[in-house]
Amino acid sequence: MTSIEGLIGLVVIGLAIAFMIVFSVQDRKSKIPLRRIPAMEHLSRMVGLAVEEGRRIHISFGRGNFLDSHAASTLTNTALLKEVLKQSAGSDRPPAITSGDGTTTLLAIDVLYSTRRAGIIGDRVDSRRGRLSGVTPLSYAAGMLPSLHQEQTSMMVTGGMLGAELNLILDTADDESIHILTASDSPVGQAVAFSSPGDVLLGEEIFALPAYMNAGSMYPASLLAEDSLRWLLIVFIILGAILRSIGLTIL
Amino acid sequence: MKAPLSTLIAIICCAVVLLAYFLPFEPVQNISQLIINWAVSLSGIAMLVAIVSLLSSHWQKIRQKRSSDRYSILVIFGFGLTFLIGLVFGGPGSLDYQNVVTHMLLPIEAGLLGALTIGLTVAAFRLYRANRGWMTIVFGISTLLFVLLNSGIFTTGTGLDIPLIKNALGVLQRLPDAGGRGILLGLALGTITAGLRILLGIDRPYNS
């Protein structure tokens, strides 16, 4: 990476940190209103309904791991899992988690155990609730399907890296009348999910999950920081296009 | 703050790897490489632990007195067989091992892929049941348009060799790339803020 690109990268990082801190302070002073996303409203309602019915919530972490570009969605899923565990604390059936990577599986199990240690959930949680489903796209889907049939699942959140194989999961969820929210970070997965009757989050909406679950003031601040950076990016893209078309090249 | 030591280690590791990416200082890059190598090794070990957890989970499913899972027997049998074949033929690097495993895996995955193809076709029609408003109409029209565009019907043997039409078709063909890039830019911004939450010690997935 050349020094000018490195410098631009550092400026973007610095700006993001500044935005996050400013918006976090603002959120603590007065709650920042988030835009209405129907899928998020359904999520909170369905978590409550699953607890009332005594049925299970399934969270799928997808196939991404911590060492690739899918790390961010894995982190989002972890924050979501913590919130779902808190909100479903009174449930007879604790949430089940599947993932397609060893590190993510261990992380999910660790979250289950640490939530139990913190006394948020009872002793019903065991390591079988967080498991590796399959490491290739189709084996992941095939490994997940039995848990939808057999585990009294009422709702499911599929996050992380999931491509066209998502359709197999969505089909089964539809057959089993499982309410599903898809938050895939893959454009292919998002396209597949869009055609399903369930809720779907598109683009960067997937990172908004913890903010809508009231996970803390830094999450809505992150969303606003993303929005601010996006507007800056739009301005620079348009500016760059205009300068290029009149024959000026800056970088 | 709970477990300040693990939080401090995470913040330092994050900062070093991030700095090494942007700044061309050799000592920082060497430390960053070392941290990444440790992460890769730990990730391999984590996979082993996850496999053991998977097997134990299926073993417990078999042992359940009420509604014992027969498919779990197949999972454990398949794993054992693959492991044994690996030992006999000399591991995943051996050509014989790859041949055997490929000949088992390919038909199974091809079958699933067939089911997926039908499922995706049905899903395209099911979109109208999903009732996504005007987006359904946009989806339908764009599917038809791009199927026609990519079939070459507008460019071959139709006499439409007019530069203006060719440019317009070129713009249309670039639209999916533009949309895809828009989504990826959004994802990239989300990734930056998620990473920064770890760097600032706000998000601590390793410590609830």
Closest residue to A204, CB basis, from B67, B190, B197: B190
Report yes or no: B127 at the A interface, CB cutoff 8 Å: yes
Instruction: Say if CB B191 and CB A64 are below 8 A apart.
Output: no
Nearest alpha-carbon partner for A9 in B25, B190, B23 = B23
pLDDT digits (tens, 9 = 90+) for A159-188: 888 888 888 898 889 888 899 999 988 888
Strand bridging mode A96-99 / A56-60: parallel
Q: Find, in chain B, the residue whose alpha carbon is nearest to that of A8.
A: B22
Residues 6+ apart with CB under 8 A from B30: none
**What ipTM was assigned to the predicted interfaces of this complex?**
0.82
Instruction: For residue B93, give how far its alpha carbon lies from the nearest alpha carbon of chain A (Å).
Output: 18
Is B155 a residue whose pLDDT tops 70?
Answer: no
Binned at pLDDT 50, 70 and 90, residue B97 comes out as confident
Q: Would you place residue B2 in the very low, low, confident or very high pLDDT band (cuts 50, 70, 90)?
A: low
The answer to whether the CB atoms of A204 and B200 lie below 8 A apart is: no
Contact assignment for B193 to A226 by CB distance below 8 Å: yes
Find the mean pLDDT for residues B176-197: 86
Q: What is the per-residue pLDDT for B156? A: 64
The type of residue at A59 is I
Strand partners, A131: A98
- From A3, A127, A204, residue closest to B187, measured CB to CB: A204
Does B132 have pLDDT greater than 70?
no
Give the pLDDT score at B208: 55
Ramachandran category for residue A105: left, alpha or beta (phi over 0 → left; psi -120 to 50 → alpha): alpha
B37 → chain A, closest CA residue: A67
Domains, in order of start, for chain A: 31-216 (3.40.50.1220)
pLDDT computed for residue B205 by the predictor = 74
Q: Is the pLDDT of residue B207 over 70?
A: no
pLDDT at B163 over 90: no
Average pLDDT over all residues of chain B: 82
**What was the pLDDT predicted at A90?**
77
Residues 185-204 of B with CB under 8 A from A: 185-187, 189-198, 200, 202-203
Q: Does B18 touch chain A (CB under 8 A)?
A: yes
Beta carbons of B191 and A71 less than 8 Å apart: yes
What is the average pLDDT across B96-112?
83
Predicted TM-score (pTM) of the model is 0.82
Question: Does residue B133 register a pLDDT over 80?
Answer: no
Whole-angstrom CA distances from A218 to A36, A224, A225, B194 are: 19, 10, 10, 10
How far, in whole angstroms, is CA A143 from its chain's centroid? 21
Decide: A217 and A27 in contact? Cβ < 8 Å. Answer: yes
Distance from CA of A51 to the nearest CA of B (A): 22
Q: Which of B8, B3, B38, B32 is nearest to B18 (CA)?
A: B32
Residue A125: predicted pLDDT:
64
* Average pLDDT per 10 consecutive residues for chain A, totaling 251 residues: 78 91 88 84 88 89 82 86 84 86 87 81 69 86 84 88 88 89 88 84 85 84 90 91 84 63
SS (H, E, C) A6-53: HHHHHHHHHHHHHHHHHHHHHHHHCCCCCCCCHHHHHHHHHHHHHHHH
pLDDT at A229: 92
Which residue matches tokens 């990476």?
A1
- The amino acid at residue B123 is A
Rounded Cα distance between A138 and A146, Å, is 14
Q: How far apart are CA B30 and CA B13, in angstroms?
A: 13
- At A235 the pLDDT is 93
Place of tokens 């700044």: B23
How far apart are alpha carbons B110 and B105 in whole angstroms?
A: 8
Q: Specify the pLDDT at position A18.
A: 93
Mean predicted confidence (pLDDT) in B3-31: 87
Closest in B22, B45, B116 to A167, CB measured: B116
Give the mean model confidence (pLDDT) for residues B60-85: 83
Among chain A residues, the shortest Cα distance to B184 is held by A203
Give every CB contact of residue A153 below 8 A, 6+ residues apart in sequence. Answer: A55, A56, A57, A58, A96, A147, A176, A178
**Residue A11: closest C-alpha in chain B:** B22
Provide the pLDDT for residue B31.
93
* Alpha carbons within 13 A on the beta-carbon side of A175: 11
Confidence (pLDDT) at B35: 93
What DSSP string runs through chain A? --HHHHHHHHHHHHHHHHHHHHHHHHHHHSPPPPPP-HHHHHHHHHHHHHHHHT-EEEEE--S--TTSTTHHHHHHHHHHHHHHHHHTTT-SS--EEEESSHHHHHHHHHHHHHHHHTTSS-TT--GGGEEE--SSHHHHHHHHHHHHHHS-EEEEEEEES--TTHHHHHHHHHHTT-EEEEEESSHHHHHHHHTSSSEE--GGGGGGHHHHTT--THHHHHHHHHHHHHHHHHHHHHHHHHHHHTT----
